[in-house]
């Protein structure tokens, strides 16, 4: 029987060139080609099957993850894939695994913090996977407060070694991915002690397990920390616990790019500036922002396709019911998420540029933009991951009851995604760092120090404190300068209000603590401004393809105006816009939703996700939802027998009992 595309009528309504949009989404024709090829390669390989994942027990799940990782590595070698292709292939395998930390944290840490010599020794081993590494920073007692870590690395001048110890239970390393069962090595963060002096927290390369039989080396206690949220989900990862009891490593295994310990045990600052380490952080956070757009777009793709298939109410004379995507409430919940997925895609792309820019400047010993770049990536990591976690849950609700089934793909996606609000910096802690940077920027305005990069608008603070939006009709909200000014004015005024409130405290730190909830809101306003302004900048570029740019303009306006609507209190209380202008923004938003509606399916098709990657009965490309849901249900282990295990022991006796004295 020929396959039917139930969504074909929707696809035919598109007013733009989907193939060209795919290129825009991917970033370039080349990137599209690689991504498309790798996704299809993974989808067609039975080893990468994942539909049974939520049903597997932990041990089975984990073993299967090891099998997939080994198979992926085999394919990478056989096909002689380059770095980008290999990254994409692992991405589409779509299963959290030790390899994420090996490639995403262990290698970048050595690159960023190791000396040339150390890089030459360790990186070739890591690139060939002759050693497998993880990133062991967090402890049972401390995560966000890195300076509070308790693990010690004491220099022993007699033997030219560091002695690593976990002096307390709370100093046990706790959480590192890949540590529990697989990693042979780790970059361990510990307090450096030389000559009885605490020199602060530094990174050390420590071998954990034998390369012959994988047993822990002497003095090392190591294991998995246990099941995590959800079925399948992040349980394919061996987040681990690690304790050290007098573990000795050679002196040259401290990562010494910035600080060196000499043979005599003296600490010598190298000529490489400390700030270099921030470069790695910018890199890692940029990848997290890119991942946010992938996770959100995936959830949105499922919810959009299903919303076009699902019909409820509104049948006239026996005709079809209304597609739920045509309900305005559905659109008002779904389309801002669709717009956010695109917005996050472009901000991720821009962050890639920022990383290159920062790296170039660091090499030229120019640190002027570093604090701003650091704050910006911290804030964007927080903003995009929080919005994505909330957005996936909203997509589940948009799919009604069926969204709660594992076969919708949404529960597992949510469970896998949400820890990104916590790892690589708790989102609130990161926003407080952004707020500190904003307060510093404002305090330096008087001294003539010009704010740079994404804080440059603060240089026009006087004008931004006074400007009034000149929106008169709803369409005025489509003008980029009108939107930009409203967001700049709101962000500047919220920061200035915090700075003024702070100045009333004699102890600034006490003031910062007291005002921290307001400061976080000011930081969010600043980060939203960055996303809006970079989306607007993207639209300045030449974007080929019939109707492509127009669709992006609509999505950009939806992203911005939805934020105006959601944070209307901020815009009104800071006097940036009037209540009337706020309601005009909402009016414009309604009209934009109607414009997106015929293009919705094509806009999610542009993500170019295979059915394998989506892993969803609801989000299938062909919209053939109900037969798939039906078939999936029969695959459940409970349906292997008609009468369930346990019937004879527990159900039958209940049914057959002769109750005499019940009080029911």
Minimal distance in Å, beta carbon 382 to ligand FAD?
10
Q: Please, what's the b/e burial string for 96-123 (b: 16 or more CB within 10 A of its CB; e: otherwise)?
A: bbbbbbbbbbbbbbbbbbbbeebbeebe
Q: Which is nearer to ligand FAD, 137 or 454 (CB)?
A: 137
> What's the Cα-to-Cα distance from 93 to each of 295, 407, 612, rounded to whole Å?
14, 17, 9
Q: Cα–Cα distance between 111 and 116 in angstroms, integer?
A: 9
Tell me the CA distances in angstroms from 168 to 136, 172, 462, 525, one per residue in order.
16, 7, 53, 41
CB of 2 to ligand FAD, least distance (A): 44
- Nearest-10 crossing angle of helices 548-566, 18-26: 60
- 355-373 b/e (C-beta count within 10 Å ≥ 16 → b): beebeebbeeeebebbbbb
Q: Looking at beta carbons only, is 148 or 544 nearer to ligand FAD?
A: 148
Cβ nearer to ligand FAD, comparing 205 with 600: 205
516: exposed, middle or buried (Cβ count in 10 Å: 0-12, 13-18, 19+): middle
**Can you say whether the dihedral through the CA atoms of 597, 601, 606, 607 is positive or negative?**
positive
Instruction: Name the pairing type of β-strands 220-224 and 240-244.
Output: antiparallel
CB of 216 to ligand FAD, least distance (A): 18
Q: Which of 20, 393, 424, 521 is catalytic?
A: 424
> At closest approach, how far in Å is the CB of 284 from ligand FAD?
11
The nearer residue to ligand FAD, 419 or 619, going by C-beta atoms, is 419
Q: How many helices (H) and strands (E) does the chain have?
A: 24, 11
Identify the three-state secondary structure at position 140.
Answer: coil
- Quote the least distance from Cβ 36 to ligand FAD, whole Å: 30
Q: Which is nearer to ligand FAD, 119 or 138 (CB)?
A: 138
Which of 251, 228, 229 is CA-nearest to residue 162?
251
Q: In 387-434, which ranges are E strands?
A: none
Query: Least distance in Å: CB of 425 to ligand FAD?
Result: 6
HSE-up of residue 229 (Cα within 13 Å, Cβ side)? 9
If the CB atoms of residues 423 and 626 are measured against ligand FAD, the closer one turns out to be 423
CA angle 364, 369, 372 (to 5 degrees): 150
Tell me the closest approach of the beta carbon of residue 73 to ligand FAD, in angstroms.
20
Whether residue 424 lies in the annotated active site: yes
User: 347-350 — which CB contacts under 8 Å span 24+ positions?
Assistant: 347/289, 347/293, 347/380, 347/384, 347/530, 347/531, 347/534, 347/535, 348/286, 348/289, 348/290, 348/292, 348/293, 348/384, 349/27, 349/290, 349/538, 350/534, 350/537, 350/538
Q: Is 221 annotated as ligand-binding?
A: no
* Positions that interact with ligand FAD (CB under 6 A): 101, 135-138, 143-144, 175-177, 234, 239, 419, 422-423, 426, 428-429, 432
What the block records as the tokens of 13 is: 């309504």
DSSP, collapsed to helix, strand or coil, labels residue 247 as strand
Query: What SS3 state is found at 210?
Result: coil
**Could you tell me if 22 and 606 are in contact, meaning their C-beta atoms sit under 8 angstroms apart?**
yes
CA dist 432 to 87, 370, 382, 539, Å?
32, 17, 10, 31
Q: How many residues are present in the chain?
A: 664
Instruction: For residue 606, report the phi and psi dihedrals to the nearest 5 degrees.
Output: -65, -15
**Rounded CA gap, 514 and 433, in Å?**
15
DSSP state of 16: S
Q: How far is the CB of 280 from ligand FAD (least distance, A)?
A: 14
The residue number whose beta carbon is nearest to ligand FAD equals 143
Q: How far is the CB of 642 from ligand FAD (least distance, A)?
A: 39
The crossing angle, in degrees rounded to 10, of helices 516-540 and 427-443 is 80
**Residue 280, marked binder:** no
Which residues make up each annotated binding site for FAD?
138, 177
Residues identified as active-site: 424
């Amino acid at each position: 029987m020929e396959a039917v595309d139930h969504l074909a009528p929707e696809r035919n309504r598109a007013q733009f060139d989907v193939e060209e949009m795919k290129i825009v989404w991917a970033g370039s024709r080349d990137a599209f080609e690689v991504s498309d090829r790798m996704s299809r390669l993974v989808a067609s390989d039975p080893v990468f099957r994942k539909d049974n994942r939520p049903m597997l027990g932990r041990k089975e799940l984990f073993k299967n993850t090891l099998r997939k990782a080994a198979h992926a590595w085999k394919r990478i070698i056989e096909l002689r894939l380059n770095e980008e292709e290999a990254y994409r292939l692992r991405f589409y395998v779509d299963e959290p695994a030790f390899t994420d930390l090996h490639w995403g944290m262990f290698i970048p840490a050595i690159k960023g913090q190791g000396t040339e010599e150390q890089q030459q020794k360790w990186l070739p081993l890591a690139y060939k996977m002759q050693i497998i590494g993880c990133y062991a920073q967090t402890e049972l007692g401390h995560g966000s407060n890195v300076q509070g870590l308790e693990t010690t690395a004491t220099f022993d001048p007699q033997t030219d070694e560091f002695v690593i110890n976990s002096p307390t239970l709370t100093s046990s390393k706790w959480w590192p991915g890949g540590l529990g069962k697989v990693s042979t090595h780790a970059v361990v963060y510990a307090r450096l002690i030389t000559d009885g002096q605490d020199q602060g927290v530094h990174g050390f390369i420590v071998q954990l397990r034998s390369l012959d039989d994988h047993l822990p080396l002497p003095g090392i206690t190591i294991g998995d920390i246990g099941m995590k949220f959800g079925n399948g989900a992040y349980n394919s990862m061996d987040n681990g616990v690690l304790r050290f009891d007098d573990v000795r490593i050679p002196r040259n295994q401290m990562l010494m790019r910035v600080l060196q310990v000499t043979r005599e045990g003296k600490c010598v600052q190298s000529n490489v500036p400390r700030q270099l380490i921030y470069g790695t952080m910018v890199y890692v956070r940029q990848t997290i922002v890119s991942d946010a757009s992938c996770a959100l777009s995936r959830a949105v793709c499922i919810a959009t396709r299903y919303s076009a298939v699902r019909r409820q109410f509104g049948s006239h004379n026996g005709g079809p019911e209304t597609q739920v995507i045509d309900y305005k409430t559905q659109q008002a919940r779904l389309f801002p998420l669709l717009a956010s997925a695109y917005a996050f895609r472009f901000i991720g792309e821009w962050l890639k540029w920022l990383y290159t820019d920062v790296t170039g400047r660091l090499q030229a010993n120019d640190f002027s933009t570093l604090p701003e770049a650091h704050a910006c990536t911290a804030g964007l990591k927080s903003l995009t991951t929080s919005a994505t976690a909330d957005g996936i849950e909203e997509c589940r609700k948009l799919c009604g009851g069926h969204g709660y089934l594992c076969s919708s793909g949404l529960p597992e996606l949510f469970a896998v995604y949400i820890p990104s609000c916590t790892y690589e910096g708790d989102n609130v802690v990161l926003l407080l760092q952004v707020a500190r940077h904003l307060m510093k920027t404002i305090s330096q305005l008087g001294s003539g120090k010009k704010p740079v990069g994404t804080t440059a608008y603060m240089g026009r603070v006087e004008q931004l404190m006074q400007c009034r939006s000149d929106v008169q009709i709803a369409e005025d909200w489509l003008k980029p300068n009108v939107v930009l000014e409203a967001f700049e004015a709101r962000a500047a005024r919220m920061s200035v209000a915090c700075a003024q409130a702070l100045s009333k405290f004699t102890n600034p730190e006490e003031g910062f603590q007291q005002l921290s909830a307001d400061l976080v809101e000011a930081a969010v306003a600043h980060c939203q401004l960055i996303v809006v302004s970079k989306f607007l900048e993207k639209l300045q570029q030449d974007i080929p393809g019939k109707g492509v740019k127009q669709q992006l303009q609509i999505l950009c306006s939806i992203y911005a105006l939805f934020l105006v609507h959601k944070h209307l209190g901020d815009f009104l209380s800071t006097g940036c816009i009037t209540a009337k202008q706020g309601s005009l923004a909402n009016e414009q938003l309604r009209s934009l939703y109607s414009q997106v509606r015929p293009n919705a399916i094509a806009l999610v098709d542009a993500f170019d996700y295979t059915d394998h990657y989506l892993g969803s009965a609801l989000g299938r490309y062909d919209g053939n939802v109900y037969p798939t849901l039906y078939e999936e249900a029969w695959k459940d282990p409970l349906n292997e027998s008609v009468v369930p295990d346990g019937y004879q022991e527990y159900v039958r006796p209940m049914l057959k009992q002769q109750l005499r004295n019940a009080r029911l």
